[in-house]
C-alpha cells in the first residue's frame, strides 16, 4: 500500500487554477452530493461550522470515492499547543491539505509548518508525533512517516491588517504552499465590515495577490459571486472557492418558496366561488 500523492498540491504549485466549493453543513450525505458535481476541491470547514473530527472523518471517507475532488480541511485554529494538537489530529485522520485561519506573522507560519511535519533524518525540525492512524492506514503504508511531509499541503489564511503587513515573510516561509485571502475578516480588519467589495479591500486583495506571486507561492480566495470569481482567476488565483453549500441551499429554497407563494396568492385572488 502506498501513500496518496497530493495532486492538489502539485496543481496549485504549477499555477493550474483549481475550482472549489465551501462545505459547512457538516453532513457526509450533502458532501457526497457536492463531490459528485466534479469540483477540483472542497473545503470542509472546522472553524465556523458544527464540524468536529468525527464529522470531518465521515466526509473524508465519502470523498475517498471521488478521487478527482480533493478534500481540504480548515482548522478552528492552528496556533499554540491547541493548534499543534489539532494539526496532528487532522493529519492523522487523513487530511493532506490544511487551511489554517488567522495567521498574522512569519513566526506563527513557521510554528505551523513544524507542527505539520514529522522529524526527519536531516533534522528538519518537525514536531508531529508518529502514530499508526488512518493516514498511514494503521501502519499498512510502511514508508508513510518518510513520505508524509512531502505530501502535506499547507495553506495559511491572511485576513487581517497584521497579516498584510507581514505577508511577504509569511508567504516566503519554507513549507508554506499557499496563501488564502479571507475577504470577510479582512474587510472587517480594514474598517469595512460586511463589505469585501469596498475599493479599499479590493485594492488590498490585489496587492496581496501580487506579493504572494512574487515569492512564488499559490494564492486562493472564496467568493460566491461569479463576476468576482472570474476576476480573481484573471488576477492569477490558483484555487478559488466559487460557492458555499449553505448559500446554495439558502438561495435555492428562497427562490422556490417565493415563486410558489406568489403563484398561490395569484390563484387565490383569481378564484370565484
Q: What is the pLDDT of residues 115-168, one digit of tens each?
A: 999 998 665 679 999 999 999 999 999 999 999 999 999 999 999 999 999 999
> Helix, strand, coil proportions of the chain in percent (round to 5)?
45, 15, 40
Q: Which residues contact 41 (CB under 8 A, 6 or more apart)?
A: 8, 18, 19, 20, 21, 69, 70, 71, 72, 97, 239
User: Do the Cβ atoms of 198 and 187 come closer than 8 Å?
Assistant: yes
pLDDT of 19 > 60? The answer is yes
CA dihedral 221, 45, 73, 50 (to 10 degrees): 170
What's the confidence (pLDDT) of residue 39?
Answer: 98
Residues paired with residue 220 on neighbouring β-strands, in sequence order: 180, 239
* pLDDT at position 270: 66
Q: Are 25 and 246 in contact (CB under 8 A)?
A: yes
What distances in angstroms separate CA 102 from CA 20, 80, 247, one per listed residue?
21, 13, 23
Among residues 203, 204, 133, 214, the alpha carbon closest in space to that of 162 is found at 204
Domains of the chain: 7-247 (3.20.20.60)
pLDDT at position 261 is 87
* Mean pLDDT lowest among 19-28, 74-83, 121-130, 254-263: 121-130
Catalytic residues: 48
Mean pLDDT of 225-248: 97
Amino acid at each position: 500500500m502506498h501513500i496518496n500523492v497530493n495532486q492538489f498540491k502539485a496543481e496549485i504549485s504549477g499555477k493550474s487554477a483549481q475550482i472549489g466549493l465551501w462545505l459547512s453543513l457538516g453532513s457526509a450525505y450533502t458532501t457526497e452530493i457536492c463531490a459528485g458535481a466534479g469540483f477540483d476541491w472542497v473545503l470542509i470547514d472546522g472553524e465556523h461550522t458544527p464540524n468536529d473530527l468525527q464529522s470531518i472523518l465521515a466526509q473524508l471517507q465519502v470523498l475517498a470515492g471521488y478521487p478527482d475532488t480533493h478534500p481540504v480541511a480548515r482548522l478552528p485554529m492552528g496556533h499554540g499547543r491547541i493548534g499543534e494538537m489539532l494539526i496532528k489530529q487532522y493529519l492523522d485522520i487523513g487530511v493532506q491539505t490544511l487551511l489554517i485561519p488567522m495567521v498574522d506573522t512569519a513566526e506563527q507560519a513557521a510554528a505551523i509548518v513544524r507542527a505539520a511535519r514529522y522529524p526527519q533524518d536531516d533534522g528538519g525540525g518537525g514536531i508531529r508525533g508518529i502514530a499508526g492512524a488512518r493516514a498511514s492506514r494503521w501502519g499498512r503504508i510502511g514508508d508513510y512517516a518518510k513520505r508524509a511531509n512531502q505530501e502535506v499541503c499547507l495553506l495559511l489564511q491572511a485576513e487581517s491588517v497584521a497579516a498584510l503587513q507581514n505577508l511577504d515573510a509569511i508567504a516566503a516561509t519554507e513549507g508554506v504552499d499557499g496563501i488564502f485571502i479571507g475577504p470577510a475578516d479582512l474587510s472587517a480588519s480594514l474598517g469595512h465590515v460586511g463589505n469585501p467589495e469596498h475599493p479599499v479591500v479590493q485594492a488590498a486583495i490585489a496587492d496581496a495577490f501580487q506579493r504572494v506571486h512574487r515569492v512564488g507561492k499559490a494564492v486562493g480566495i472564496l467568493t460566491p459571486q461569479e463576476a468576482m470569481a472570474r476576476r480573481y482567476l484573471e488576477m492569477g488565483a490558483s484555487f478559488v472557492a466559487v460557492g458555499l453549500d449553505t448559500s446554495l441551499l439558502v438561495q435555492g429554497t428562497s427562490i422556490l418558496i417565493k415563486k410558489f407563494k406568489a403563484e398561490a396568492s395569484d390563484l387565490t385572488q383569481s378564484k370565484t366561488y
